Amino acid sequence: MISQTKITVRYAETDQMGIVHHSVYPIWYEAARTEAIKKIGMTYSTLEKNGVMIPLVELNCRYIFPAEYEDVLTINVEIAKLTPARIVFNYQIFKTRH
């Protein structure tokens, strides 16, 4: 299952050149992941109350094209691997100019 979340780049997420700062992408990944979990009928807080923790242990990003202020982004997230001890999420971000 691929879940999609739309985000419009805010001014505060950009650097002096108007390009999204690299530190913002993990925040967007979390927003998309949270929405994906909701779409399967759960919430992060419910998972945690049930003892399921999802710590970040690795993050790799490849930046192909810059995102800029007011771009509309579609963040796709899918579960690439699911085991009793690990969940691996894959993300892709696509942009359209607003």
Query: Which tens digit of pLDDT belongs to each residue from 17-67?
Result: 999 999 999 999 999 999 999 998 999 899 899 988 888 899 999 999 999
- Model pLDDT, residue 92: 96
Domain parsing of the chain, residue ranges = 2-97
pLDDT digits (tens, 9 = 90+) for 61-91: 999 999 999 999 999 999 999 888 888 999 9
- Model pLDDT, residue 22: 95
Pick the catalytic residue from 15, 48, 70, 78. 15
Is 96 a residue whose pLDDT tops 70? Answer: yes
62 φψ region: left (φ > 0), alpha (ψ -120 to 50), beta (else): beta
Is 98 a residue whose pLDDT tops 60? Answer: no
d(CA 46, CA 75): 23
In this prediction the pTM is 0.87
State yes or no: is 71 an active-site residue.
no
The correct answer on CATH 3.30.70.60 for the domain covering 2-97 is no
